[in-house]
């Protein structure tokens, strides 16, 4: 039975809110943005058909406040809620509150979020589906002694994680007994701050693993497909930086088994809508093994690389499935074509320990061209505040081969000036040019190990100093503007680009 969605409240901010609002518009669905007082002029707020303020800048009093978000949906007359990723997207209480308020939650049912959000229950589901898991547990005794005891029982090194969420928040590697106490305290505080739940999970640390995940999609009629894998091994502090599809060097037989395993887990979980099964891959070539890591019961930050290689629009699919429509294609009709790479553009200074940066974007110009997509939550002049995640935008490129995609990504990054605050763009240029990245041979510890080479800012080039000198004597920008009409970016000098929107 289908029930067309008429008006969707997007319970998020930044690039993903913009992404979902655009998709709604394309499908003739009205969109409602929510925003904090700090985001009243933010792109997602401006773009939506309607906007509701949900509170002061701190996320806990606005984007994370279930009652305020539900009230906003009611006030705006929404009939459905898209949670995006992060914030309330994996909070079963929120999905439940939506349902009880007569709102369609665009995602899986609350009990499925709850089960797959619990690392213990998710592992049981994976086990029941016949998929291998990494040894680990959530200690019943959550006091420091209990967590430390579990870490010793599993054997160091271990990984401490927030039981309630992902994204690297509340995650700590512990290699030495002496580090346990401080790591437990820090992981618990970060977990509590990010997810409102300080419960910790302790897991055996797999050394030099690759992080490969499989996108799944399920409708409400029993149809389940996988949309191939994404390689997400380029991480710093357990936060993904670069994602790609296909995963380089993954043996075809292993890829096929992982796809089947992902569908089996989703089926066992009673899954509906977009989800991701994360795997750790240990070893190389034919000896490689994979373990179920966890399931993300939402759309992922890196979904665009899957869109690029499959030609599917995942947000459109989410909206259609949420309206009760069956998937319009079968597994054997889905193909993985070409190669796609996503770079996350963060407001952070890699040369200062990836410290988050706040301030105004004095100059912000996005690259474009064939095979180049930018999903951004900011525009020139945007003020980046300390209240939210430092993800500014995502650059997604696709090309027929991995080598061509890497070259396209580097070219685009070099045409992506973001000035006024430090970003990781220069770091990304260095990372994509690194021989190990070029060879497709990196594991999740690569960035940490190579941090020295990747994060060292070179001494200012003579050219950069000369450029500054030239800009210094041309007077202020306003004086120059009066003197001559503004010129354009090189990309915009090409008449075929400039006449974008014309058809011939």
Partner 1 sequence: MATVTEARVNGGLYTVTADGRLMRVASPAAGAGVDILTNYLGHGWLLLLVRDGVRQPAWVAEDGARRWVYCDGEVTVVELAAPAGTRRRPAAAGGLGRLTAPMPASVIRIVAAPGSRVAHGDTVLLLEAMKMELPLRAPHDAIVRAVHCQAGDLVQPDVPLVDLDPLA
For residue 170, give the nearest of 207, 134, 196, 132 by alpha carbon.
196
| 127 or 426: CB nearest partner 1 | 426
Q: Per CB under 8 A, does 178 bind partner 1?
A: no
* Residue span binding partner 1 (CB under 8 A) among the ranges 67-75, 275-283, 329-337, 470-478: 470-478
Q: Quick check: 363 binds partner 1 (CB under 8 A)?
A: yes
Q: Please report how close the Cβ of residue 100 comes to partner 1 at its closest, in angstroms.
A: 29
Residues numbered 318-357 forming contacts with partner 1, rule: CB under 8 A? 347, 352, 355-357
Shortest distance, CB of residue 455 to partner 1, whole angstroms? 12
Judged by beta carbon, residue 340 or residue 413, the one nearer partner 1 is 413
Assign 3-class secondary structure to 294-323. EEECCCCCCHHHHHHHHCCCHHHHHHHHHC
Q: Which of 285, 435, 458, 495 binds partner 1 (CB under 8 A)?
A: 458
Yes or no: say if 343 and 409 are a contact pair by the CB < 8 Å rule.
yes
Pairing label, strands 50-53, 30-35:
parallel
Site for partner 1 in 436-455 (CB under 8 A): none
Contacts to partner 1 from residues 405-434, by CB under 8 A: 410, 413-415, 417-420, 422-423, 425-426, 429-430
Q: Which stretch binds partner 1 (CB under 8 A): 95-103, 446-454, 466-474, 495-503?
A: 466-474
Minimum gap (Å) between residue 492 Cβ and partner 1? 10
Of the CA atoms within 13 Å of residue 444, those in its CB half-sphere come to: 21
Please give the span between the terminal C-alpha atoms of the chain, in angstroms, as a whole number: 42
- Paired with 364 in beta bridges are 418
Q: State in angstroms the smallest separation of the CB of 63 from partner 1.
A: 12
Strands (E), 67-157: 80-82, 104-105, 136-137
Q: Is 498 in the site for partner 1 (CB under 8 A)?
A: no
Degrees (nearest 5) of the Cα angle 356, 358, 364? 105
Instruction: Round to whole Å and give the CA distance between 97 and 95.
Output: 6
What string of H, E and C letters represents the secondary structure of 447-491?
HHHCHHHHHCCCCCCHHHHHHHHHHHHCCCHHHHHHHCCCCCCHH
The stretch near partner 1 (CB under 8 A) out of 146-154, 285-293, 385-393, 441-449 is: 385-393
**Which residues bind to partner 1, rule: CB under 8 A?**
169, 186, 189-190, 193-194, 347, 352, 355-358, 362-363, 365, 380-381, 385-390, 410, 413-415, 417-420, 422-423, 425-426, 429-430, 457-458, 460-474, 476-477, 480-481, 484, 486-490
């Amino acid at each position: 039975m289908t029930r067309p969605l008429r008006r969707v409240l997007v319970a998020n901010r930044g690039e993903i809110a913009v992404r979902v609002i655009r998709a709604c518009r394309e499908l003739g669905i009205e969109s409602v943005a929510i925003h904090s007082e700090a985001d009243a002029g933010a792109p997602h707020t401006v773009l939506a058909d309607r906007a509701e303020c949900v509170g002061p800048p701190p996320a806990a009093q606005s984007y994370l406040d279930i009652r305020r978000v539900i009230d906003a949906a009611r006030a705006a007359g929404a009939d459905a809620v898209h949670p995006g990723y992060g914030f309330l997207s994996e909070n079963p209480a929120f999905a439940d509150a939506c349902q009880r308020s007569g709102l369609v939650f665009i995602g899986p049912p609350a009990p499925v979020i709850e089960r797959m959000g619990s690392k213990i229950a998710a592992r049981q589901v994976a086990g029941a589906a016949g998929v291998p898991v990494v040894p680990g547990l959530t200690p019943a005794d959550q006091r420091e002694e209990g967590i430390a005891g579990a870490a010793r029982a599993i054997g160091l090194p271990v990984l401490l994680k927030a039981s309630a969420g992902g994204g690297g928040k509340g995650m700590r590697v512990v290699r030495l007994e002496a580090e346990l106490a401080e790591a437990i305290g820090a992981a618990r505080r970060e977990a509590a701050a990010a997810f409102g739940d300080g419960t910790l999970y302790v897991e055996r640390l797999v050394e030099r693993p690759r992080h490969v995940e499989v996108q799944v999609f399920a409708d409400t009629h029993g149809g389940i497909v996988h949309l191939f894998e994404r390689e997400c091994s380029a991480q710093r502090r357990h936060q993904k930086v670069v994602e790609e599809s296909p995963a380089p060097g993954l043996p075809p037989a292993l890829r096929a088994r992982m796809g089947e395993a992902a569908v089996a887990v989703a089926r066992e979980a009673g899954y509906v809508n977009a989800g991701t099964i994360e795997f750790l891959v240990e070893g190389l070539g034919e000896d490689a093994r994979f373990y179920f890591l966890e399931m993300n019961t939402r759309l992922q930050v890196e979904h665009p690389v899957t869109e690029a290689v499959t030609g599917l629009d995942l947000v459109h699919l989410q909206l259609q499935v949420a309206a009760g429509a069956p998937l319009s294609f079968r597994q054997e009709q889905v193909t993985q074509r070409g190669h796609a790479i996503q770079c996350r553009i963060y407001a952070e200074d890699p040369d200062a320990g990836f410290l988050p940066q706040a301030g105004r974007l004095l100059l912000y110009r996005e690259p474009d061209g064939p095979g180049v997509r930018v999903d951004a939550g900011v525009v020139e002049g945007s003020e980046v505040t300390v209240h939210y995640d430092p993800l500014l935008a995502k650059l997604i490129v696709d090309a027929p081969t991995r080598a061509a995609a890497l070259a396209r990504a580097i070219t685009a990054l070099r045409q992506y000036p973001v000035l006024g605050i430090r970003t990781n763009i220069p770091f990304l240029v260095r990372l994509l040019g690194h021989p190990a990245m070029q060879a497709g041979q990196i594991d999740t510890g690569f960035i940490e190990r190579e941090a020295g080479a990747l994060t060292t800012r070179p001494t200012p080039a003579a050219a950069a100093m000369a450029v500054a000198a030239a800009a210094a004597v041309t007077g202020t920008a306003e004086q120059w503007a009066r003197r001559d009409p503004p010129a354009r970016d090189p990309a915009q000098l090409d008449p075929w680009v400039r006449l974008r929107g014309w058809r011939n």
